[in-house]
């Protein structure tokens, strides 16, 4: 049922705690250490991948997700956006051409600033500091 919880998350990223809580809805006796063990097992057999999103917390998602994606992580607010894997298809072609390298799996996390944090929303922080002159 851990796998089912992850499948139903649809592109969201769940921590072990999230998974544990969701499973406990149906199976109250399910505990945290069981969750970790199951996640570890699913990871070992390649059904679940662990993704680090820069906040030091492991997030889990199913590997056979039909829409593979990569992660854009905002360093300001920590927001995670999913990027369709096809943004990499061009890079993939180039690697194949230049290096005869075929990409298997990619675990990509791109850090930066999201639209909200890059401003536009407010002009704060731009106050003139006319201390001397």
Q: How far is the CB of 99 from Zn ion (least distance, A)?
A: 26
Quick check: 51 and 13 in contact, CB under 8 A?
Answer: yes
Read off φ and ψ for residue 71, nearest 5 degrees: -120, 130
Q: Render the burial of 19-31: b for 16+ CB within 10 Å, e for the rest.
A: bbebbeeeeeebe
57 binds Zn ion (CB under 5 A): no
117 binds Zn ion (CB under 5 A): yes
Nearer to Zn ion, 31 or 76 (CB): 76
Read off φ and ψ for residue 92, nearest 5 degrees: -60, -45
108 binds Zn ion (CB under 5 A): no
| Look-up of token digits 């890079």 | 91
Q: How far is the CB of 25 from Zn ion (least distance, A)?
A: 23
Cα separation, 33 vs 12, in Å, equals: 22
Q: How far is the CB of 6 from Zn ion (least distance, A)?
A: 11
106 binds Zn ion (CB under 5 A): no
Nearer to Zn ion, 34 or 69 (CB): 69
Nearer to Zn ion, 47 or 117 (CB): 117
Q: Which residues ranging from 59 to 78 are in contact with Zn ion (CB under 5 A)?
A: 61, 74, 76-77
Q: How far is the CB of 101 from Zn ion (least distance, A)?
A: 24
What are residue 123's DSSP bridge partners?
none
47's tokens: 């059904």
Contact positions vs Zn ion (CB under 5 A): 61, 74, 76-77, 79, 114, 117
């Amino acid at each position: 049922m851990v796998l089912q919880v992850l499948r139903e998350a649809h592109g969201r990223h769940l921590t072990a705690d999230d998974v544990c809580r969701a499973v406990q809805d149906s199976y109250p006796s399910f505990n945290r250490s069981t969750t970790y063990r199951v996640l570890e097992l699913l990871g070992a057999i390649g059904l679940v991948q662990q993704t680090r999103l820069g906040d030091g917390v492991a997030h889990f998602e199913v590997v056979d997700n039909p829409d593979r994606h990569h992660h854009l992580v905002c360093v300001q607010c920590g927001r995670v956006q999913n990027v369709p894997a096809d943004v990499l298809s061009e890079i993939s072609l180039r690697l194949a051409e230049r290096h005869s390298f075929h990409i298997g799996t990619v675990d990509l996390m791109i850090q930066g600033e999201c639209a909200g944090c890059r401003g536009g929303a407010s002009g704060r922080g731009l106050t003139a500091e006319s201390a001397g002159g």
